[in-house]
Amino acid sequence: MSDPPEGPGRSGVGDRPGEEPGRDAAIELVRTEEELVVGMRPEEAGRVRVRTEVETSHVRHLVPVSAEEVEIFEVEVPEGAEDSGQVETTPDGDLSVPVVEERLFVVRRPVVTKRVIVRRVSRPAGRRPVEGELRAQRVIVEDPDDPARRHEVRPTPGRERVRVEDPDTPT
């Protein structure tokens, strides 16, 4: 019969070559079970495009305006004389004033009215099944001289080990 293998999981009398286990010697084995580690990592599921569109709406608004009213007398410009376009006093004391008219104009300019904030939000989306094969060791103790003397230590039934890791916690 060869020597028992050395290594982790074994300790006690009889582990070293040439040493026989005594009647009261104990052999200790470490039985392991696998656990299923379920983690989450961010994975791109798609992209969104954020853009703006210009919506045009027609605006009509009445604004108050004023205009000067004048009595108009036609005065002939003497031949060869030029009109200066300036305010002048006529020979009879009236003022000759250029008539001014208000002209409406419209200016469009961008005005910030709102700010749009795009934020990622993680919400619980229910549960999804995760499956995997787990292995667990079974310890078998046998008497080589008497096969009827056999003892087994089995994994605990229904004790599947599942651990869910937080994606923000470093492993």
Phi-psi region of 22 (alpha: psi -120 to 50; beta: other; left: phi over 0): beta
pTM: 0.34
Question: In sequence order, what E strands does the chain have?
Answer: 10-12, 27-29, 36-38, 88-89, 95-96, 139-143, 146-153, 162-164
pLDDT in tens, 56-78: 878 888 888 887 776 777 666 66
* Type of residue at 82: E
Report the alpha-carbon distance of residue 3 to residue 16 in Å, rounded. 8
Report the alpha-carbon distance of residue 99 to residue 67 in Å, rounded. 10
Each of the 171 residues of the chain gets a pLDDT tens digit; together they read: 444 444 444 444 444 555 555 667 788 888 888 888 888 888 888 777 877 777 887 888 888 888 777 677 766 666 766 767 788 888 887 878 665 567 788 898 988 888 888 888 888 888 888 888 888 888 888 888 988 888 888 888 777 778 878 766 665
